Amino acid sequence: MENRIFTYTLIVSLLIHIGVLWNMSYAQMRLKAKTVKMIEVVYPGIKLEKKIPDTTPAPVKGMKVDLLQAAKASLQEQKSISSFMKDMSKLSDDFLHQGQKAKVVNQKPQKRKVSVPAVEAQQINNPVYINYYQIVRSRIRDRAYANYERFESGEVYLTFMLDSQGSLKRIKIIEERTRANQYLRQISMRSIEESNPFPPFPSDLQYPELSFNVIISYEVE
């Protein structure tokens, strides 16, 4: 009897515990169900690009012929431009050539010429003196030509004196017989000074000093 009571008591206690546990589980489920919130997902607006209508004309039957003609026309135009450029280049070359040729034709070749002619009425008519005088003039002419760099004309009359050893003692320009600018006067004086010393006097010229007159002539041909 006691065992039966214990059994009943155990069964009742078990049922009570099961009921309590069930109620607690159900209450939690309801609570969770109530706390669930709806989440709203909003997608940003995306603008779709508008399609640009294709305005390319649909190919037609005669399009190949038109493209071929257009290509031929373009090629012909390029040839025309190339031919025009060649003609212009040739024309410019002709102008340049003519200009250079004209310059050459218009330019007259100029030559400088220096001469030292003998001066009349020298003090001594001795042939030995005349030969020595010729050597002196030739030496002065060579130096004057080396110093003559400008295309200017004129004559410079000079007188100078040498001792028996050929050393230059005095030099002077005779103004009244000179027809030249300052440049020709300067190179004339310098030419005689640079020719110094001259050769000594020949043994037949027994003079301590001798004077010489020269005309240095500058000409442009």
Question: What average pLDDT does the structure give for the chain?
Answer: 78
Model confidence at 56: pLDDT above 70: no
Type of residue at 20: V
CA distance linking residue 154 with residue 174, whole number of Å: 14
Tell me what pLDDT residue 196 has: 96
Q: Can you give the residue ranges of every domain in the chain?
A: 112-220
pLDDT digits (tens, 9 = 90+) for 83-116: 666 666 666 565 555 555 444 445 566 899 999 9
Model confidence at 15: pLDDT above 60: yes
Tell me what pLDDT residue 69 has: 72
Q: Whose CA is closest to 133, among 147, 144, 119, 143?
A: 119
Tell me the β-bridge partners of 112.
220
Packing angle of the helix pair 182-195, 127-147 (nearest 10 deg):
120
Q: Whose CA is closest to 191, among 130, 122, 116, 132?
A: 116
Percentage of the residues of the chain whose pLDDT score is greater than 70: 60
Tell me what pLDDT residue 182 has: 96
Model confidence at 179: pLDDT above 90: yes
Tell me what pLDDT residue 105 has: 47
Positive or negative: CA dihedral 27, 32, 35, 40: negative
* DSSP tag of 215: E
Residue with more model confidence, 192 or 24: 192
What architecture is the 112-220 domain classified under in CATH? Answer: 2-Layer Sandwich (3.30)
